[in-house]
Copies of this chain bind each other. A is one copy, B any other.
Amino acid sequence: MSRFTTFETSDVRFPTSLALDGSDAMNPDPDYSAAYLRLGTDAGDDLLGHGFVFTIGRGNDVQVAAIEVLRDHVVGRDVEATLADLGGFWRELVHDSQLRWLGPEKGVMHMAVGAVVNAVWDLRAKREGKPLWQLLASLTPQELVDLVDFRYLSDALTPDEALEILEKAAPGRAEREIALLANGYPAYTTTPGWLGYDDEKLVRLCKEAVADGFSQIKLKVGADQAEDVRRIALAREAVGPDIAIAVDANQRWDVGDAIEWVAALAPFDIAWIEEPTNPDDILGHAAIARAVAPIPVATGEHAASRVIVKQLLQAEAIQVLQIDATRVAGVNENIANLLLAAKFGVRVCPHAGGVGLCEVVQHLSMFDYVAVSGTTEGRMIEFVDHLHEHFATPAVVTAGRYQTPTTPGAGAEMLAASIEGAHYVRA
């Protein structure tokens, strides 16, 4: 038996705002950051569990403080018993009644739980010698159901329905795992699309994206409609008619604005409109989706919990669910989100980029393909080519596809030198 003995948090920041990487209509100058956690044990195997919350700069210290307050739930705890009941561990953290008041189940405190949960999953995957996607895809349908807290979900998805979805996918797992290892998983790129880039850089990066084998790119919109039309025309000309172009407003609009603005962009053949308005506005997204159909509405990177995801699906407010590795309370809650999407027949195209989001979220999509939805049709994972060099197992995208990771772990492991070296704080 071993115990958790160390719980080390770090405030890691990168000065991405200097090059306007990541600039959009709501986030003009992000400094990509991570509130980072490393968990150690006394097992003598040198394995650490790594987890983090992605933030965009100021407030990363608040996020670190929130992770710190979970220390007493972890240090001293029996490692083997914890890894054997990660559903119970999730419930204990999320339903800590005093901490729950700070959300409930949303924002800083909920994301902090996610960092801890993900770090424990990273440790478990390393101990079992498997990449996370493969570990999850090796669990029985009942073991997967036991990882999910169905509280507040039962009007949309019951444990029995979840079991049925997973059992239906079980016979094809082995075949899909082979295909996944051979072919990887589809990606799209946001690298060309940041608002802060000038025309020359936009066009050059669009052409590079096509040359690199991507079949979809994404552009940021929402600051200036005439500029958006001009830029999307440039991009369409650069990529040609056969490459999909999605657009992302990063919550810039009210409902009426969104409907009007999307109509202006529609002639350029829009693959989806992402985050048209406030991420909590279920009814607003539903109204927008009805008005802009058949253009799909996409959101989810700021969906604070499975309760928001449930309603987006119930209300037919989205046609694309964009899960995020560090917005909700970790792997377990994203399994709930994947099951909800499967129940409602909605495709999942994860949010990634930032710091380490590509590295972590790819495991969830790959697990979904092998053991939940059983398909990659219409699905792809966002890719942005930033900051991968800081990770022990950087995401690898070749010919427009994520190459399937085979290294044990959940992908979150940042290099020690990066954790300890990157502490830029913008004046």
Q: Name A's B-contacting residues (CB within 8 A).
A: 26-31, 55-59, 61-63, 65-66, 69, 96-111, 151-155, 251, 254-256, 277-284, 287, 302, 304-305, 307-308, 310-311, 314-315
Contacts and interface: CB of A to CB of B under 8 A. Distances in A.
B282 A282 contact: yes
7 contacts: A27-B98, A104-B302, A106-B280, A154-B254, A281-B311, A282-B283, A282-B311
B314 A99 contact: no
A249 to B, nearest CB: 13
Most chain B CB within 10 A, of A102, A104, A154, A254, is at A102
B55 A102 contact: yes
Contacts of A284: 152, 155, 311
A315 B281 contact: no
Counting chain B CB atoms within 10 Å of each CB, which of A28, A57, A98, A284 scores highest? A98
A192 B31 CA distance: 51
A339 to B, nearest CB: 16
A109 B112 CA distance: 13
A108 B107 contact: yes
Nearest to A278: B152
A98 B56 contact: yes
Contact of A106 (B28, B29, B304): B304
Contacts of A251: 104
The interface centre, meaning the residue of A26, A29, A66 with most chain B CB atoms within 10 A of its CB, is A66
B280 A305 contact: yes
Name which of A31, A55, A155, A305 has the most chain B CB atoms within 10 A of its CB: A155
Contact of A105 (B100, B104, B278, B305): B278
Nearest to A257: B154
